[in-house]
Amino acid sequence: MDLTKLTRQSHRHDRPGVPLLGRFRLAGARAHEVCGPARRRLALWLAAQTTGPVLWIRPAWHPDRLHMAGVRAEIDPGRLIFVEPDRPEDILWSMEEALRAGVVPLVVADLPDPPGLTPVRRLHLAAEAGLEARGGTALGLIVTPGDGGAAGVESRWRLDPAHGAEATGWRLARLRGRDAPPGEWSVTRGADGRARIVVPEVREPA
């Protein structure tokens, strides 16, 4: 496998994708990254926009785990299939194989550190193979602490809590986008309980 190139399909703009917060769309058949203190919530928001099972891969030795009560606020916990490898090298290997199989719409790898360029390129290629084999979205999501930093990802997003006395809120930032500039947005929960982008009030001229 030639890892110095991506296939032509990686440059197509008609690939299926996964919507995020009703405003953004993460391209399918690619690997994206989410980071920041609320990164796992952001991953769950994305998972909620898919149908069927979601594969969540995490290191067996790491103490951080999803809190099911919090998960239930975003997605049916029964949709999550957990894989917990004992060896660090098996985490991305598991993600790559799952993407290549193309049987689930979203594969999440909850990592203690950002991966390098070569593993990310392998994930892109595996996701494209999964798309060709099964259709669907074949989207890979890398979850990393801090500001992230996985090399070669299609996009990188950061979510920070920004709760107030009267409302629950977050600050969403796009740190990297292959086809979009960086930006920041405020997020809150609507009356239906779903997270949404806060649209600034438009004032009519006097």
Write the DSSP string, 116-149: -HHHHHHHHHHHHHHHHHH-S--EEEEE-STT--
Q: Which domain holds residue 27?
A: 22-155
For residues 138-145, give the mean pLDDT: 96
What pLDDT digit, counting tens, does each position of 84-103 carry?
999 999 999 999 999 999 99
- CA separation for the pair 121, 119 (Å, rounded): 5
Structural domain count of the chain:
1
User: Strand 155-161 and strand 169-177: pairing?
Assistant: antiparallel
3-class state of residue 78 by DSSP = helix
In a domain, 50, yes or no: yes
Q: Which has the minimum average pLDDT: 54-58, 105-109, 145-149, 200-204?
A: 200-204
142 class by beta-carbon count within 10 Å (0-12 exposed, 13-18 middle, 19+ buried):
buried
Give me the pLDDT at residue 35, please: 98
Rg of the chain over CA atoms, in angstroms?
Answer: 17
In a domain, 174, yes or no: no
In a domain, 128, yes or no: yes
Give me the pLDDT at residue 14, please: 63
CATH code for position 137: 3.40.50.300
| pLDDT grade for 205, boundaries at 50, 70 and 90 | low
In a domain, 89, yes or no: yes
For residues 166-179, give the mean pLDDT: 92
Q: In percent, how much of the chain has pLDDT > 70? A: 90
Whether 1 has a pLDDT exceeding 50, the answer reads no
| pLDDT grade for 191, boundaries at 50, 70 and 90 | confident
In a domain, 183, yes or no: no
In a domain, 130, yes or no: yes
Measured CA to CA in angstroms, residue 153 lies from 31, 105, 195 at distances of: 6, 18, 25
In a domain, 148, yes or no: yes
In a domain, 167, yes or no: no
Give me the pLDDT at residue 199, please: 74
| Token output for 57 | 């891969």
- CA separation for the pair 23, 164 (Å, rounded): 23
Residue 73's Cα: distance from chain center in Å? 18
What pLDDT digit, counting tens, does each position of 28-85 carry?
999 999 999 999 999 999 999 999 999 999 999 988 889 888 899 999 999 999 999 9
Give me the pLDDT at residue 2, please: 43
Give me the pLDDT at residue 95, please: 97
